[in-house]
Structure 1
Amino acid sequence: MPNSSDCKVATADGLTLLLHNQHALSAAIEEITKWLSENGIGSVAVNAVAAMETLDTNSQAITDSILRIRQS
């Protein structure tokens, strides 16, 4: 069984990859939102902005978790 330190590193590394994926999704949603707004589909764009806000909120929580794991 791996030691606790190895598990913490693996967990933090896995969370870091998820955070990178979250940033990529946010960027994609931002591009789609821009296109929706420019093409007169504002109501859908509003929903996309709400999704980006959720990603941003969760991104900070994931970042905080990664830092706590790496510091312990």
Structure 2
Amino acid sequence: MPDPSDFNIVTADALTLLLHNQHALGAAIEEITHWISGNGADTVADNAVAALETLDRNAQTITDAIMRLRQSSAPR
């Protein structure tokens, strides 16, 4: 039977990779937003900023979950 701490480590590692992907997507959206805004499409840029805000909000929750999983897997 697998050790629950092994499962937590694997889950935390997977979430960490997803979080890194989320940060990369956020950076890409931010770059595109600057370009769009500079070309006069302010409504589109505003929508992109709203998407960035959602990524930021969710990133903190994912980070908290990763930390909880890693703490529950730490040797005592």
Give the TM-score range, shorter chain.
over 0.9
Aligned twin of 1:62: 62
Shift of 1:13: 0.2
Q: Which runs of 4+ in 1 moved over 4 A?
A: none
Q: Which residue is equivalent to 2:19?
A: 19
The alpha-carbon deviation at position 2 of structure 1 amounts to 2.0
Structure 2 unaligned spans of 5+: none
Relative to the length of structure 2, the TM-score reads 0.92
Structure 1 segment 1-72 matched on structure 2, within 5 A? 1-72=1-72
Q: CA–CA distance in 1 between the matches of 2:34 and 2:2?
A: 46
SS of the aligned residue for 2:12 comes to helix
Greater relative contact order (Cα < 8 A, sep 6+): 2
Q: What are structure 1's unaligned runs of at least 5 residues?
A: none
TM-score, normalised by the number of residues in structure 1: 0.97
What value does the CA root-mean-square deviation take over the aligned residues?
A: 0.6
Amino acid at match of 1:3: D
SS in 2 for 1:40: coil
What secondary structure is seen at the aligned counterpart in 1 of 2:2? coil
